[in-house]
Amino acid sequence: MIAWFSDPTHWTGSDGVFALVIQHLIYSGVALFFACLIGLPIGLYVGHTGRGVVLIAGLANALRSLPSLGLIVLLVILFGPVFTSDMAFIVPSIIVLVLLAVPPIMSGTYAGVAAVDPAAVDAARGMGKRPLDILFDVELPCALPLIFSGLRSATLQIISTATIAAYVSLGGLGRLIIDGRAQNDYYQMAAGAVLVGALALLVDLAIGILSRLTVSPGLTRRL
């Protein structure tokens, strides 16, 4: 396998490791972006108002139990006639990644807001802060630790599941595994798995650093 990694032709070119990593990151990033766009506001709304708690719990469970690969294939079949280009694979894959990432982000955000000290929120209301100020000055900053933990598990899921999407011809590191399987190139498959793992670790590390920079030491109790 070391031999596989030391062969420079495996790294460069349109299907080299660099290109695949970039592709993988782009798909994952786009999916994470849309998942946040959906999950964060819903989580904030439910946490702030206390309305729809049961609904989002059920929704999260339903989404978690979806079989990712089956759903991707189904969507490809459905979307196939609609799109002509690569979009026929990309759009269904990203939709599934988003569906997968929404529950941890939504639940983390909701749990974070719901766990904010009710006395702090009461004090904020009592001193005359308006609802949106309470949400953005008090509830959101205090919920950040749990929001970040939701974000981390969503990101890990996206990065690992994006690998499966290579099955329906999506680019990214999954190509090494799927193509390696087709060519019985086990070194290439193993290399793909290692790379996905390493990428997941690195991205997790990056989110960890981001959370350190944004979460108040008053919450982490770290000085």
**CB 132 to another protein: min, Å:** 11
- By CB under 8 A, the count of residues binding another protein is 21
Which of 62, 66, 123, 201 touches another protein by CB under 8 A?
A: 123
Write out the binding residues for another protein, residues 131-160 only, by CB under 8 A.
138, 141-142
Q: Which long-range contacts (CB under 8 A, 24 or more apart) does 14-23 make?
A: 15/175, 17/176, 17/195, 20/171, 20/172, 20/173, 20/175, 20/176, 20/195, 21/173, 21/195, 21/199, 23/171, 23/172
72 alpha-carbon distance from chain centroid = 16
**CB 219 to another protein: min, Å:** 5
Please tell me whether residue 86 binds another protein under the rule CB under 8 A: no
Please tell me whether residue 129 binds another protein under the rule CB under 8 A: yes
Contact 58, 137 (CB under 8 A): no
d(CA 78, CA 76): 5
Please tell me whether residue 49 binds another protein under the rule CB under 8 A: no
Write out the binding residues for another protein, residues 159-178 only, by CB under 8 A.
none
Write out the binding residues for another protein, residues 201-220 only, by CB under 8 A.
216-219
The site for another protein (CB under 8 A) is made up of 117, 119-130, 138, 141-142, 216-219, 221
